[in-house]
Structure 1
């Protein structure tokens, strides 16, 4: 680190609102986080996005505890976890698209009728989402469109984790019921 302050002191300053402390932590660990993200995701743009996400999460959640380990270990663990979440999310989204697109991968869908069909499906899903209660719709949008974990949604909405899980499950069940003809 270029700073004379320890990681714990920088984190404490960050918690007290000193954003320059976040910059110093980024200067010290940004490259390590980026390299790990790039190794796990294989895409420079996604690695940059994940690196930014890791440091924003550090700033927002303020969950680092120096008694439990070093800042480097904390950040690399968070990076690994978020990269795994992104892989799972991509796989889940691809599975849904393939199921709704009659098991045809989206990339190979060159037929005009296939493209129209996917557009209609997307429109139906959007309409169904708009019919959900606000609490369920908001949780689903944050989870599937913004890629947030349930814990991040809980923190972002200031709701208990159990409430977020319930809203997500109820929203998905309701969507499934509304879109029954698409998932059969």
Structure 2
């Protein structure tokens, strides 16, 4: 099994002193036999428009016709700063999911986590739009925005850094949400997380 994780600096674990991010923590708790190959393809500050333009070519070079190829779409917050409309953001994700489906690549979507408190309402709306696109296509979606927006540990973790990137604890919380929102079922593995 090959898992390509496409996204921004949050997918790469930027700011995590352990260098694992949520992807590394999830990979460590994914017990497939043989082990899955996890490939993180991250571009810092990337919008869903840029992600939509690059993902197919980049994953095609890493996928193989001899493997079970899977795609994890790790969405960030850059659409807000770039001023993309909700309609454009929705369309970008829809295009990714539709092309992946046409290539028989199963997908899993992780929504953007909260950052600056003043952006929360817009980010919650964006996350909801992404969730709707994924749900309409029967693709698993992990909402990281809603459960973390008021979580004391998440807020403390952001406050100790640059206010945007989580640290070790924050990435651990994101990993927990992924692992407990259908990850193992999506992979066809027994749910062995506690």
TM over 0.5: no
Normalised TM-score (structure 1)? 0.25
Q: Which has the higher strand share?
A: 2
Q: Which has the higher Rg, Structure 1 or Structure 2?
A: 1
Normalised TM-score (structure 2)? 0.24
Structure with the bigger RCO (C-alpha within 8 Å, sep 6+) is: 2
Q: Which has the higher helix share?
A: 1
